[in-house]
Amino acid sequence: MKQARTRRPPLIGRLVVFGVGLIGGSFAAALKKHQAVGHVVGVGRSRANLLAAKRLGIIDEITSDPARAVRDADLVLIAVPLGQTRAVMTKIAPHLGPHTIVTDAGSTKRDVIEHARRSLGDAFSRFVPAHPIAGTEKSGARAADAELFADHLLVVTPERATDPRAVKRVLAAWKLAGMRTVSMDADEHDRVLALTSHLPHVVAYALAGQIAGYADAKRLFQYTGGGFRDTTRIASSSTEMWRDICIANRGALLKAVDDYTAGLARMRKAIAVGNGRTLEKFFNQARAARAKWLPKR
């Protein structure tokens, strides 16, 4: 007579998600898909969004009480806009268990680490700063997708005090969600993302805003083609989220904006004097770089 196989416990028994939107909801959905989580608690400002998340099976429980939420939690994911991160950490700190791991999904890391250092007390060693580089311009629980993170990159920026066991658990969870992982210094992360993510969003908002500022904006938007739509797609993203990111990473972002405007100034000069050779050289260099480093996109 064959003995019944003992079912292995899930990687995470109790997961608490603050901010059940695109990122937080997709993380929970991915772990549920892989049967890697036992129970998911959702916390957020919008009860309607949390109810939608529960109907969709993304979360199992709703609460507005941070203390109750994190009680007996194995992992807490903070996936709220950056401006709310410190407040969440302050509220949960006194109620975290001795083994509870806390992580985040913020697009900046140095400021979040400093918030954690000041707010989490003894639990700081179990805080794993992380950034899943994935997403769309959509938001809310209805935008959640269990496949959102597949083959995308997760950056973790642990400090010297970070418990390696906590890092291992967080990495294991994100790998189950389909992510490739890399470790990076927090300041370097913020510089890199200012150039590759934060600046493009600023440019997209600026371009859409420029056209919207003309008296005949309605007519102009009717004549936009694929180039404009592709370039400004991310201007449909959450304005609250991107407001917070720009302010939090202002130092690195301002440097990126200055470098970008300097490049525009050089192009403007070439256009003004009709220097086609300089323009074509600039365009060829940019096209070649994109083809070399983004060959599959």
Q: What does the alpha-carbon distance between residue 89 and residue 294 come to, in Å, rounded to a whole number?
A: 37
Q: pLDDT digits over 27-72, tens only?
A: 999 999 999 999 999 999 999 999 999 999 999 999 999 999 999 9
Q: pLDDT digits over 199-217, tens only?
A: 999 999 999 999 999 999 9
Domains, the chain: 12-184 (3.40.50.720), 188-293 (1.10.3660.10)
The count of C-alpha atoms lying within 13 angstroms of the C-alpha of 183, restricted to the half-sphere facing its C-beta, is 10
Q: What does the alpha-carbon distance between residue 134 and residue 151 come to, in Å, rounded to a whole number?
A: 9
Mean pLDDT to the nearest integer, 264-280? 97
**Could you tell me whether strands 153-156 and 130-133 are parallel, antiparallel, or unpaired per DSSP bridges?**
antiparallel
What is the percent of the chain where pLDDT is above 90? Answer: 92
The pLDDT assigned to 139 comes to 84
The pLDDT assigned to 295 comes to 73
